[in-house]
Amino acid sequence: MKEKALQFLFKHGTLLVTGALILFFSIIIDEFLSYSNFSDILRSISIVTFVAIGITFSLIVDGFDLSVGSTVSLATVTSAAALVLYRQELFIALIIPILLGVLIGLFNAFLAVKIKLPDLLATLAVMYIINGVQLTYTKGFSIYNNMPLESGGTAPGRFIPSFLYIGQGELFGIPFSALLMIAAVIVVHLFLQYSRPGRLFYMTGSNREAARISGIPVNRYRTYAYVLSGIFASIGGIILASRIGTGQVSAGAPLLMDAVAAAFIGFSVFGAGKPNVVGTFFGAVLIGILLNGLTMLNVPYYAQDILKGSILIGALALWHLQKK
């Protein structure tokens, strides 16, 4: 009986908790079920989901990328700088952050795969480096329309409507960023589950030595994972910048904990017992609903971190029990 109860929790615990939170918040908060509030939840979830998908790729190959939060911040700042400081068009504002994400992923892979530093320590060091770079570039100031310049006058560019549409626009009444998120989850899920490269990612992470003996280019797939992590974090940063309409310094720092929690919660969704993008999405939904409800109840942000940490501990405990 006990084993059946645990198996039920492994498979459906996340969904039950999510449903319970929706019911609880809808009872005590009149506006919780409103369209505008759910639009806000979807927009916030879309950013966390993109960042968490990147973390999921690193977890699949038995690694861990702690630099995603700083990568989000750098992408937010560089996309804003391209538009506001250099008057570039949409393509440049999108491609520069994504290319930086690729470079960060390659640097992480160089340290963890080539130099063979522990993944946690390597990406932690890169996190601090990226944070220092974006703070040095901005001198600690956010980038926004009509911002004053040191040389005098104001910034020549602005956030263009096509860029703002990514984070603020709607298509068929659904936030555009949410549609991007859903498309990304579907594509990545199909890639990981039904393509040969997707299976090789999982084989690399499950037993690195056995995968190497089988002829799988293990180091190449670990490098791919970190590059993809950097790209998805950069996309999250682009969506964040377009949503808030500023290049906010260190804006991605709070997203690290949310994305990590979403990725690890995903281990227990439907009893998967491994990193998977569908579980990561449901983990992001759970985190998004929780934070939205707590914010509407005026719970201080520092108390929210306590709850997020507790949820992460619970998800890790369930995963550990499932492995045993």
* Three-state SS annotation for 279-295: HHHHHHHHHHHHHHHHH
pLDDT number for residue 300: 84
Between CA 8 and CA 249, with CA 49 as vertex, the angle to 5 degrees is 140
Question: What distance in Å separates the CA atoms of residue 290 and residue 155, rounded to the nearest whole number?
Answer: 38
More confident residue, 211 or 97: 97
Instruction: State residue 146 phi and psi, 5-degree precision.
Output: 60, 25
Rounded to whole angstroms, what are the CA distances from 108 to 72, 207, 222, 276? 15, 21, 10, 21
pLDDT number for residue 318: 67
pLDDT number for residue 310: 82
pLDDT number for residue 129: 95
User: Three-state SS for 241?
Assistant: helix
Give the confidence band of 311 by pLDDT, cuts at 50, 70, 90. Answer: confident
Q: Which of 46, 38, 39 is nearest to 181 (CA)?
A: 46
> Out of 160-164, 271-275, 296-300, which region has the weakest mean confidence (pLDDT)?
271-275
Question: What distance in Å separates the CA atoms of residue 18 and residue 315, rounded to the nearest whole number?
Answer: 13
pLDDT number for residue 30: 85
Average pLDDT estimate for 33-44: 89
More confident residue, 33 or 202: 202
pLDDT number for residue 2: 60
Rounded to whole angstroms, what are the CA distances from 28 to 295, 297, 314? 13, 9, 25
Average pLDDT estimate for 292-296: 90
Q: Name the one residue in this structure whose structure tokens are 């914010």.
A: 295
Q: What is the number of other CB atoms lying within 10 angstroms of the CB of residue 248?
A: 19
Reported residue count of the chain is 324
